[in-house]
Amino acid sequence: MIAKGVDKNSILRELRGMLNKAYADSAYKVARVIVEGCLFNGCNPLHIEVRRPFIVSEGESSRLGNRNVRLEDTGLIKVKYPYDGSWITLRTEFGQKYLPLLRELVDLARQREVSYGARIVFRGGSIYLHLSIPIKLYLKHFRKGEAEGGFVGGFDLNSDRVNLVIIDGHGRIVDTRTAWFTETTSHGFPRNRARALRLRALAKLLKYCYTHNVGVVVFENLPLIKRRRFTRSRVGNRKITRFAKRQLIQYGIVMALKYGFKTLLTNPRGTTNSKEHNELMRRYGLDRHTASAYLTALRGLKALINMYTTNNHKNQNCPNCG
């Protein structure tokens, strides 16, 4: 319906006639993301085919964390059958390291203090439960450290590599690193394996930042890009379509927060093709991706300086600041 241009209110009205509000609203939001992703890739959303069935329900703190998928214990969930309101009870298995987090989540949900989104996926004869945990609660259990370094790390994320440039407070390059995973863009390479390689490479570079005096990391706000730009190269186009930008940037932000980095997002406009970008390549002899990472780091440093200047100005009780 979204792909056909039906307005939001009409879609929700029809969905809510069959499902409760939480199921209906969640289904609409997921469908909208799928359609937007299809349009971003330059594809026809009318040709979308969902390969695996799934259930999704957004969180509601007033409904014990979730109205439809309720975590009763670390080994038990209840799923509401949408057509008669009855509950289906299922056993669950989680990794040992997640159990303390889940116990606290259950306790807080019963006190109506937190909510959590839930997605149930049916794959290969098995049922998988994915929970969206509040970030503060997640970091409470899985924080890796508290980065307090004085350097800034800028990242350039691509389908076949991640580039890192570390700069000091004056914008001078301190270090550069590149993590490669060129095999992920090969024809027929498994998407799940490609995802694992990209996330592992990004995690390795973030750990490198933590051990090399970096206190702030900067990423391009890639979701601001509304549509992919394809080329005449089949290999280049395959690289573009296999780059799950939103997934990689979300993972990078969460990992950065786990290390205690201050994390900034900058507008990606001009970081790949601009006069400023070309000048950095020429002046410092950088390749285009390292130059993009450097430019991202410089923009992050500028944003930090502006924030510091503004806060310092307000602390001086300036009459113009209120």
- Residues 33-84 pLDDT 10s: 888 877 877 788 888 888 888 999 999 999 999 999 999 999 999 999 988 8
Please, which pLDDT band fits residue 289 given cuts at 50, 70 and 90?
A: very high
Predicted local distance difference test score (pLDDT) of residue 38: 79
For residues 4 and 1, give the distance between their C-alpha atoms in angstroms, rounded to a whole number.
5
List CB contacts of 183: < 8 A, sequence separation 6 or more: 189, 197
- Residues 203-242 pLDDT 10s: 999 999 999 999 999 999 876 654 545 445 554 444 444 4
Average pLDDT over residues 248-263: 94
Map out the domains of the chain as residue ranges.
1-50, 56-142, 151-310
For residues 264 and 299, give the distance between their C-alpha atoms in angstroms, rounded to a whole number.
10
Q: Distance of alpha carbon 107 from its chain centroid, rounded?
A: 27
Q: Say which CATH topology domain 151-310 has.
A: Nucleotidyltransferase; domain 5 (3.30.420)
Average pLDDT over residues 297-305: 95
Average pLDDT over residues 97-103: 97
H/E element holding 57? strand 54-57
Predicted local distance difference test score (pLDDT) of residue 188: 84
H/E element holding 192? helix 191-210
For residues 111 and 70, give the distance between their C-alpha atoms in angstroms, rounded to a whole number.
14
Which is higher by pLDDT, 227 or 193? 193
For residues 60 and 46, give the distance between their C-alpha atoms in angstroms, rounded to a whole number.
32
Predicted local distance difference test score (pLDDT) of residue 172: 97
Mean residue pLDDT across the chain: 88
Which is higher by pLDDT, 168 or 194? 168
